[in-house]
Amino acid sequence: MTAKTLMIQGTGSSVGKSVMVAALCRIFKQDGLRVAPFKSQNMSLNSFVTMDGGEMGRAQVVQAEAAGIEPTVDMNPILIKPEEDARAQIVVLGKPAFTLAAGEYYQHTPELLAVIEGALERLRSQYDLVVIEGAGSPAEINLKQTEIVNMRVAKMARSPVLLVGDIDKGGVFASLVGTLVLLDEEERQYIKGFIINKFRGDIALLKPGLDQLERITSRPVLGVVPYQHRLLIPDEDSIYQNESVRKKDVEIAVIYLPHISNSTDFEPLQQEDGVEVRYVSAVDELGEPDAIILPGTKSTIADLQYLWQTGLALEIVVRAKAGTPVIGICGGYQMLGKGIEDPQHVESQRDSIAGLGLLDMVTLFEPQKTTCQVKARVACEQGLLEGAKGMEVIGYEIHMGQSIGDDIAPAFEVTQIADRGVSYPDGATSGNILGTYLHGLFDSTDFRHTFLAQLHQRKRLPLLPRAPLPTKGEQFQKLAELVRGSLNMKLVCRICGLES
């Protein structure tokens, strides 16, 4: 049996497509359907590693979790990871395929369309419903001949499309009508209704506009979804911002690198009471943080050069030597060493670059990319890891290169890759400096709380009682209730050919 499909497109970027797909995946799961998400092409530096070591966009992982299934690369067969100099690494079915300049990418769309069609067919053979996400807007008229993520996919799947507009930005009626106008007649036939997202206020005041929108377009408004505060489900590549006003005990500065990746690493810290996480990109923005984090990056050498050019590198070194804890994750870990060597020009045209010199190790870039899910345990009892030795953490690695040092204490011991037992050291620690290749480190509740306790103790602050954060299941339940209560779900089911 071939699954039904339903596609969510938007009037632009960041209108809530990713979250809407996650909500619908959870709703249909609750209603007893086997449902899977799909996005043919994703441009994102927030990526994830599947059980079999494939790399895919983080948004489809969240959607798969909402559907209660294991994420696979078929759910996001093409992942574009921007690099420096208007180039991008193209990941196809979870593996790096090539690196291209922006204009070269569209020469490959015919072969990529075949990959997309194959991935979608495999999903449709396994599930009852596939909820498809578009990208940006289908009305980007300069890209219509080459796009492989919006109307071309709708036609491939013969999928009805619901068009989402963000009223919080203003101009939502013009955006919805204008999108229809810029589509050709065949494409307009795929648009079956509208969803208005992120509404604040009295819906009675909106109703005259909704009525007129339906008259002008001859299409129904399927619902108006309220703006939801403290929804802990990120939308695509957005940096999570906690909107609540709380007492600040601990302040953490994350360096906002030009090619920052996997910023999702820090969302659990942002959700903790009394913790403020700030993203800073200049020396005068640093303030007096209790810890500095160097995050992952898709272009480590270029971003390290940026740190030296802006003075941030020198300032971080000065702060570290004065006692401020500095944590580096993945590319940020590589920056903490004495240098990075790239003799094969894997990442840039430079042969080498000096690191911050806070850890006694060097990194050598190699063409092979490491992508794996891992389990590890804290390997030492010093500095920021005091009180954490033996603690288990679960995460994943995505990196080029290996970091080598003779006299450094490894921070972690990796004990498992996917479901295979292994044993090898990861990262390094020295005093108030900590580096690791493990993404998702702060998702581990015990480790996160121990780390925050260390920061409290350094400030001689009393420790706060910390409860576990809301589970993903609880957040998906909250999201599903919100969206189910806002949409005409009977009509949505009818549109995608499902019995209500």
The pLDDT tens digits of the residues spanning 35-89 come to 999 999 999 888 999 999 999 999 999 999 999 999 999 999 999 998 877 788 9
- Does residue 496 carry a catalytic annotation? no
Q: CB neighbours (10 Å) of residue 491?
A: 14
Q: Does domain 4-232+474-495 have CATH number 3.40.50.300?
A: yes
User: Out of 259, 372, 380, 439, which one is annotated catalytic?
Assistant: 439
CB 223 within 8 A of CB 255: no
Burial class of 343 by CB neighbour count within 10 A (0 to 12, 13 to 18, 19+)? exposed
pTM: 0.89
User: Out of 330, 372, 493, 496, which one is annotated catalytic?
Assistant: 330
CB 35 within 8 A of CB 25: yes
Q: Do domains 4-232+474-495 and 250-458 have the same CATH topology?
A: yes
Domain range annotation of the chain: 4-232+474-495, 250-458
- The confidence score (pLDDT) of residue 245 equals 41
CB 4 within 8 A of CB 499: no
Q: Is the pLDDT of residue 131 over 80?
A: yes
105 falls in which pLDDT band (50, 70, 90)?
confident
Q: Is the pLDDT of residue 410 over 50?
A: yes
- Does residue 439 carry a catalytic annotation? yes
- The confidence score (pLDDT) of residue 461 equals 81
According to DSSP, the residues that pair with 95 across neighbouring strands are 92
Class of 250-458 in CATH: alpha beta
CB 378 within 8 A of CB 412: yes
